[in-house]
Amino acid sequence: MGRMFWAGRSAALYLAAWLMLGLMLAGLLNAATGAGIPGSLLFALPLMLVYASVCGFSSYYLCRAYPLATKSLRSVLVVFFVTAASAASLWCAAAVAWAAFWRWLAPSMGGVQLSPPVAAVMFGVGVLLYGMTACAHYLALEFERARRLETRELELKLLAQDAELRMLRTQIDPHFLFNSLNSISALTSIDADAARDMTLQLAGFFRHTLGLEAHRKVLLSDEVELTQRFLAIEQVRFGPRLAFACEMADDAARCLLPPMILQPLVENAVKHGIGQLPQGGVVRVHAVRAGSQLKLRVENDVDPDDGAPGKGGGVGLANVRQRLAAVYGIDASVHATRDGAIFRVDLILPADMGD
């Protein structure tokens, strides 16, 4: 429907332009031959509309057959000049016949007398109009080609972004699985039942994440639920040493974000924070919506005597940065800071409500 509308409007504008040219030609003929306004209009308007159709169709196919990108400019000019001269000659011949027809049909109205100077002017106008029509077609074709290239470039960009997101997402599962298998291996010699429970929890976690696609977004509430599933696996090993607290506003919970964004941050908090403390600690997630932004914070207790700020960012934190940059560009940011015995990661991204 859209294409038909635009094609119809373009055709209407094209015909309107040629009608204006026909009125101008009628005025010139009236002034040059004294044929009168009615006779000049009856002569000029039909003749101009016929020539508009001839110029439109023939120049369009010639522009298609002689694209500027592949044909030499000299050959294009020669072909169009010969064609324009031929079309203008035929137009002048048709004008002579048309004038004779009107003189025979309505001799009382007078008629246009095509003297050699008038015919020469019509020939020059015909060549000029054909050339202008060809230029208009070339501009339209170049515009169409540029639009196709822009669309193709956008499609390729989206495909590349999707491939990058899939690659970054695939880094998370092996990384998490490696750490979990190490934990299960450590438990097998200490508590076989706990190792079995952790294995079942791990299977359930991967079953839940199997349907998550890297290019689709999930609700923040679902992302937090997935994080809790991960922590349930880790709590089999850490027991009461590992605690979790979440503060999430209702409007923030309905925001959309890439899947498994919080999980690598929470994994880092457990492995490099809580896991290094004999007494354990708390992993805290805070989420709030501030206007058009969604602000997330993941923080955990760390050893205050360990003076290496940001220790353990590794694959997880770098992966989160790259994924958010791929999805949101400069509209998202990730900042990791250390404040005494607290290590925190702040994420700021657009508040996507899926509207």
Mean pLDDT across 202-209: 76
pLDDT for 213-228, tens place per residue? Answer: 555 788 999 889 888 8
Band of the pLDDT at 290, cuts 50, 70, 90? very high
Contact indicator for 310, 336 with CB cutoff of 8 Å:
yes
pTM to 2 decimals?
0.54
Q: What's the pLDDT score for residue 243?
A: 93
Partnered with residue 218 across adjacent β-strands are 257
| Segment among 53-67, 121-135, 146-160 with least mean pLDDT | 146-160
Short-list 345, 354, 350, CA closest to 312: 345
Q: What's the pLDDT score for residue 24?
A: 85
Q: Name residue 182's amino acid.
A: N
Q: What's the pLDDT score for residue 309?
A: 46
3-state SS class at 343? strand
Strand ranges in the chain using DSSP code E only, listed in sequence order: 218-219, 242-248, 256-257, 281-290, 293-301, 333-339, 342-350
Band of the pLDDT at 6, cuts 50, 70, 90? very low
Distance (Å, whole) CA 58 – CA 61: 5
Band of the pLDDT at 312, cuts 50, 70, 90? very low
Partnered with residue 246 across adjacent β-strands are 285
Q: Please check the confidence at residue 345 and state whether its pLDDT lies above 60.
A: yes
Q: What's the pLDDT score for residue 3?
A: 45
Short-list 1, 50, 3, CA closest to 25: 50
Phi-psi sector, 291: left (phi>0), alpha (psi -120 to 50), beta: left
pLDDT for 13-47, tens place per residue? Answer: 878 888 888 888 888 877 777 767 877 788 788 88
Tokens 């308007």 -> residue: 45
pLDDT for 163-182, tens place per residue? Answer: 665 665 565 556 667 767 87
Q: Please check the confidence at residue 284 and state whether its pLDDT lies above 90.
A: yes
Q: What's the pLDDT score for residue 165?
A: 57
- Burial class for 143, CB neighbours closer than 10 Å (0-12, 13-18, 19+): exposed
Contact indicator for 266, 230 with CB cutoff of 8 Å:
yes
pLDDT for 122-143, tens place per residue? Answer: 898 889 989 888 888 888 888 8
Q: What's the pLDDT score for residue 47?
A: 85
Q: What's the pLDDT score for residue 4?
A: 41
Q: Name residue 128's amino acid.
A: L
Domains of the chain and CATH, by start: 2-152 (no CATH), 191-350 (3.30.565.10)
Short-list 253, 264, 285, CA closest to 351: 253
